[in-house]
Amino acid sequence: MMTMNDPHASPLGEGAARLAAERMLRRAAMAWFCVAAIGQAAFVWMILAHYGRKTLAGDLAAWNDKPIIKGYVAGDAMGNLQFAVHVLLAVVVTLGGLMQLVPAIRARAPALHRWTGRVFFVTAFVMALGGLWLTWGRPTYLSLTSAVLVSLNGVLVLALSVQAWRMATARRFDAHRRWALRAYLAVNGVWFLRVALMVWAPLTRGWGMDRKLSGPADIALQLCAYVLPLLVLEAYLRAQASANPNAKRAVAGLLIGLTVLTGLGALGAVLILWGPYML
């Protein structure tokens, strides 16, 4: 029987508890990533099935067959071109981001990881700058509040991508991993927003929302779309580095809860936002 005086009992027990908590945290993060990857694949499916198909068929006016603020506008060649580049590059940045996070690709094909990394950051840059132009230059927004909130997302994408790239070229790979994860989450801010809207709207019957994305819930959800994932990532990174098994278990529990919400939101997006317009 172990006693309190046994000098070996406690460290061994602590070591086992820490390993178990580390495993739990790793599995919870993996579960979230798998659900998010399926949800992001659905986003890519929508883009290809709707914008890709209509663009290839040369029927640009059909972009507007799905609810959208300003897609195809007759006579606006520049705006239409920018829009097409923006939505079609969304496929590259979303798939590129997912690829970067798969550990097997990083380990077995580091050259591929470096190239997809470059493509991801350049595309993220073009997307954020193009998105800012669409918002303010075209202009495309439902309300000034929503325009400012999505623009903050764009600025975050630019800042976090620069930082992740700088750390990679400085060969500071630990810092690069942290900044690249932040950039990945910011790039997916527009996807997170759709997931968050599709959790909130059905559960609360649209409480605090209006048709201009400017109600109190709309504002909170638009902010949450990029602030919340970044905060959860910080909690995850700290729990990973911590020796305290309780911290790891708490963040693992949080990630499990968020995995369920992410799955529900992604399903809602497919069923409500995209599915009905894809046929």
Number of chain residues interacting with ligand HEM (CB under 6 A): 26
Based on CB atoms, which residue is closest to ligand HEM, 189 or 245? Answer: 189
Tell me which H or E stretch contains 278.
none
Q: Per rule CB under 6 A, is residue 93 in the interface with ligand HEM? A: yes
- Virtual CA dihedral for 155, 226, 132, 52, nearest 10 degrees? 130
Selected binder of ligand HEM within 37, 45, 70, 233 (CB under 6 A): 70
Collapsed DSSP state (helix, strand, coil) of residue 7: coil
Site for ligand HEM in 135-164 (CB under 6 A): 135, 140, 150-151, 153-154, 157
| 180 touches ligand HEM by CB under 6 A | no
Cα 56 from Cα 37, distance rounded (Å): 26
For the chain, where are the alpha helices, taking DSSP H only? 9-46, 53-56, 77-100, 103-108, 110-132, 144-169, 173-187, 189-204, 216-241, 245-268
Position 84, amino acid:
A
Residue of closest CB approach to ligand HEM: 131
Q: How far is the CB of 142 from ligand HEM (least distance, A)?
A: 8
Burial profile 81-107: b = 16 or more Cβ within 10 angstroms, e = fewer: ebbbebbebbbbbbbbbbbbeeeeebe
Which C-beta is closer to ligand HEM: that of 26 or that of 211? 211
Closer residue to ligand HEM, CB minimum distance, 124 or 221? 124
The residues binding ligand HEM (CB under 6 A) are: 47, 66, 68-71, 86-87, 90, 93-94, 124, 127-128, 131-132, 134-135, 140, 150-151, 153-154, 157, 187, 190
